[in-house]
Amino acid sequence: MRLRQTWRWFGPSDPVSLADIRQTGAEGIVTALHQVPHGEMWTRDDILERKAMIEAHGLTWDVVESVTVHEDIKTRSGRYLHWIELYKQTLRNLADCGIRIVTYNFMPVNDWTRTRLDMPMADGSKALYFDWADMAMFDIHLLQRPGAEGDYAADLVQEASERFAASTLQDREHLAGIVMYGIPGERKVTIPEMRERLAVYKDIDRHMLRENLAYFLAEICPVAEACGIRLAIHPDDPPCDILGLPRIVRNMEDIDYILKSVPSPANGVCFCTGSLGASFANDLPAMARQIGDRVHFIHLRNVKKDATGNFYEDDHLGGDVDMYAVMRELLVIQQSRSESIPFRPDHGHQMLDDLVKETNPGYSCIGRLRGLAELRGLELGIRRSMGWL
């Protein structure tokens, strides 16, 4: 059995339309109700409206990405019990509407983080990029987080200072907007708001955040299991502490803790090769093998790292991730399943006509179309060589 080919869509305002997606070869859609404020319940009517919109274009809504976890839940403070109950009801409503895979993340305050959205590649396309000196410049000089200098090596602190001194006001505002970009279509935060959000975590360390995640999973997994929902936690992106915040989904040790803390078949992983691949320490084929049947959803993209740990998003079959070895392990897992595991080509270069169009960072159409085509070909070759056709 092969993997199921899906495509992320950010709703009616996405520059890539459902009609466009229909032509890519993707079979299913990965999306969310981004108009619903974080933590609020998704109603059946809203879910069914979005589902009907997708099905009208000959596609299916295969995966939710994401039902966002409210910050009160992550900190186990304020109205966290209220938000957990709403989360449970959202899961029930999604199941009632026939949607069975829900992705989420437990990254505090900031979601995925980059420092540049248009790094030029040798072929003229553009890629997303993460640079530690730019991150330090934002953290130390723009955000002005207390104690930030202590979180970076001395050479990075010096480089950040030099870049700040050479930058214009426009440069600084541009960098801040990128670091705090968040999810396309959702409201952007300001630096004062970011400071307020970080302050909530001043007494929360890695151990406490882990415990808060385990508590959340203990609450929602019985509901998910009862209604046939498979949960898929997304790794931290990048898989390291940033802005003084602990990250707790970085490596196999973290994932093993998550899966063992609540040993429910509903408790699973979104295996993201780009996020996990940004760490030198992660052996992705071995991780896929170890996670096994708890892989509920797959993101396939590639990254290229330098000695400092800066990285850019490379072609899907380029970069540091051995995509052949990863795909082979995922297909071994797939052969034990009665249903296809959904995957999507995660991110893609801005290229060709998309260079002159408005696109969501990482989610232009043509770069992902190239990635999907390459990944489909790789999968077909492996399946044929293994006698799985």
Helix/strand/coil (H/E/C) assignment for every residue in 226-245: HCCCEEEECCCCCCCCECCE
Residue 34 lies in a domain: yes
Residue 291 lies in a domain: yes
pLDDT in tens, 290-329: 999 999 999 999 999 999 999 999 999 999 999 999 999 9
Residue 277 lies in a domain: yes
**Residues 146 and 216 both lie in one domain:** no
Residue 245 lies in a domain: yes
CA dihedral sign of residues 142, 132, 361, 110: negative
**Residues 282 and 368 both lie in one domain:** yes
Residue 311 lies in a domain: no
**Residues 265 and 322 both lie in one domain:** yes
**Residues 170 and 215 both lie in one domain:** no
Residue 300: give the domain boundaries: 4-110+206-306+316-385
Helix, strand or coil, per DSSP, at residue 264: coil
Please identify, among 168, 197, 226, the residue that sits at the C-terminal boundary of a domain.
197
**Residues 168 and 44 both lie in one domain:** no
Structural domain count, the chain? 2
**Residues 211 and 287 both lie in one domain:** yes
Q: Where are the beta strands (DSSP E) in 71-228?
A: 101-104, 116-120, 126-130
Residues of the chain with pLDDT under 70: none
**Residues 123 and 182 both lie in one domain:** yes
Q: Which residues are catalytic?
A: 234, 272, 299, 346-347, 363
**What does the angle CA 270 – CA 273 – CA 278 come to, to the nearest 5 degrees?**
120
The whole-angstrom separation of Cα 356 and Cα 336 is: 44
Residue 180 lies in a domain: yes
Residue 324 lies in a domain: yes
**Residues 221 and 160 both lie in one domain:** no
Entry pTM: 0.97
Helix, strand or coil, per DSSP, at residue 185: coil
**Residues 72 and 130 both lie in one domain:** no
Tally Cβ neighbours within 10 Å of residue 37: 10
* Residue 72 Cα distances to 28, 75, 265, 347, 368, angstroms: 32, 5, 26, 29, 35
Residue 144 lies in a domain: yes
**Residues 233 and 333 both lie in one domain:** yes
**Residues 214 and 333 both lie in one domain:** yes
Please identify, among 197, 215, 240, the residue that sits at the C-terminal boundary of a domain.
197
Q: Which helix (H) or strand (E) holds 68?
A: none
pLDDT in tens, 237-290: 999 999 999 999 999 999 999 999 999 999 999 999 999 999 999 999 999 999
**Tokens linked to 167:** 């930058």
**Residues 54 and 139 both lie in one domain:** no
pLDDT of residue 203: 94
Q: What is the CATH number of the domain that holds 245?
A: 3.20.20.150
Please identify, among 197, 232, 255, the residue that sits at the C-terminal boundary of a domain.
197
pLDDT in tens, 353-362: 999 999 999 9
